[in-house]
Amino acid sequence: MKGGVYTEERYYPLQDLIRRVLDACAGARRILDCGSGLEAPYQFGLQKRAERLVLLDAHGPYLQANQTRGPNVERFQGFLPGALSAFPDETFDAAVCIDVLEHLSEANAGVLVAELKRVARKVVLFTPDGVNEQDTDNYLMDADGLQTHRSTWSVEKLQALGFRAQVMHPDFHGPGLGALWAVAP
């Protein structure tokens, strides 16, 4: 990853991401964080608002280390996109999928998006804009194979999947490596 995780140049874009996630999930009582990872700054806000917050990730050590806690927080380990088959249609008011699509092939990402739309009324995506080469676990928790980036995304590709998409912060993932924000419906 270029630019580090919480460097000064990323502070304000990160705050914008948190605000966008919380705004997009306003009013949602049942929320899925798909690919929740080790922890994300927006999860505390979601946990405070939701009746039910499900953290879903393929890597068990991430879920175990995640500090988002509460009686309304559930952890679910499973590989994407197949893990979503465990949830009935419209189980969630909103599904958040932050920095996940790029870890799947385009074909599997398409299946994931279809499954997210099935299990949630609203889907929020955030992903690098273009190529962001990565094949190691920056958290050093032995998730190297899961952290490999297998696809690249653009506004047009996300629109083709039925999302309202836009570039968000052209340097979010490092100099010259922006981020995409997308919401459906």
Write the CATH number for 48.
3.40.50.150
| Assigned domain for 179 exists | no
| Assigned domain for 2 exists | no
Rounded-to-integer distance, Cα 115 and Cα 128, Å: 21
Structure tokens at 99: 């920095």
| Assigned domain for 152 exists | yes
Give residue-wise pLDDT tens across range 127-159.
999 776 666 555 545 555 666 788 999 999 999
Kindly give, in sequence order, each residue whose CB lies less than 8 Å from that of residue 140, ignoring residues fewer than 6 positions away.
none
| Assigned domain for 178 exists | no
| Assigned domain for 87 exists | yes
Rounded-to-integer distance, Cα 29 and Cα 50, Å: 4
Longest Cα separation, the chain:
42
pLDDT score at 68: 83
Give residue-wise pLDDT tens across range 33-71.
999 987 788 898 999 999 999 999 988 888 888 778 889
Find the angle CA(100)-CA(172)-CA(150) to the nearest 5 degrees: 35
| Assigned domain for 181 exists | no
| Assigned domain for 160 exists | yes
| Assigned domain for 85 exists | yes
Query: What band does 85 get if pLDDT is binned at 50, 70 and 90?
Result: very high
Rounded-to-integer distance, Cα 161 and Cα 71, Å: 35
Element (H, E) at 22: helix 8-24
What does the DSSP assignment read for 132-153? ----S-TT-SS-HHHH------
For the chain, the domain total comes to: 1
Rounded-to-integer distance, Cα 49 and Cα 177, Å: 32
Three-state SS at 53: strand
Q: Domain containing 50: what range? A: 8-172
CB–CB of 150/102 below 8 Å?
A: yes
Rounded-to-integer distance, Cα 14 and Cα 28, Å: 22
